[in-house]
Structure 1
Amino acid sequence: MNWLLVVAGGMAGAPLRFLGDRAVQRRHGTAFPWGTFAVNVVGCLVLGVLTGAVMAGAASDQVQLALGTGLCGALTTYSTFSYETLRLAHDGARFFAAANVVASVLAGLGAASAGVACAGALWG
């Protein structure tokens, strides 16, 4: 039964990633992959809040499977991040490639930490 929770979350996360990525990227006409960056940071924030909620006992294992593994797993995209970073480097935009790596890691960790802190303030 747990796999159905993951599938349900993934069914919501995948279209959210596609639509969010396209909406953000349309607003920015640069080579930098702002759409992927945005959905990955949002996914890290959501996963941080969820992790904090689970740690505080405010969310169940089933919610963690549906939202954490399913929704966030489909919303965030390490493969697209990697592809876009390599594409930037290959196209000669090495600064943007390096900036994408550094900014994505720092913003993702920051968003996850902020999410855990927000959950702690709400349920701690």
Structure 2
Amino acid sequence: MTLGPLDWLLVAFGGALGGMARLAITELTGLWWGRAFPWGTLVVNLGGTLGIGVLAALAGWPAAGALGWTFLAVGVLGGFTTVSSFSLQTLTLFQEGRRNAALLNIVVTLVPGVAVAGLGWWVVGGGA
């Protein structure tokens, strides 16, 4: 697959939108639930994995070369979800001596993440 200028623009624009949405949701979640645990990152990562499951079922997995896939999956959801924040927050919890919270963060991100991606795919007919 060869990437053209439109692909790059779609990823850049989608990533900007996804990043802004991530910031807004993370901040709101912190206000609502507190910042002692990285709830905001958990919410965006699980929401993003649900979204990618839905897209995979609707567009095919992966819909390489499709502009909608490039914009939504790679751009918006790529900018929305964040492995780097998850990793840093988990490391910080370990460094603070909060090992149980760090392990909890790993478990409640990865296990439900895979499950909701599959759920999103299945709900829109990928499992039929």
TM-score w.r.t. the length of structure 1 is 0.90
User: Which of 73, 82, 94 is the equivalent residue of 1:68?
Assistant: 73
Shift of 1:29: 2.3
Report the secondary structure of 1:92's partner residue.
coil
Matched positions, count = 120
Q: Does 1:35 align with 2:40?
A: yes
Q: Does 1:47 align with 2:52?
A: yes
Shift of 1:119: 1.9
TM-score w.r.t. the length of structure 2 is 0.87
Matched with 2:96 is 91
Matched with 2:3 is none
User: Which of 116, 123, 126 is the equivalent residue of 1:118?
Assistant: 123
Q: Structure 2 counterpart of 1:70, which letter?
A: G
Report the secondary structure of 2:34's partner residue.
coil
The two structures, once aligned, show a CA RMSD in angstroms of: 1.8
Structure 1 outlier segments of 4+, above 3 Å: none
Matched with 1:13 is 18
1 CA distance for matches of 2:111 and 2:75? 23
Report the secondary structure of 2:36's partner residue.
coil
Q: Structure 2 counterpart of 1:89, which letter?
A: F
Q: Structure 2 counterpart of 1:28, which letter?
A: W
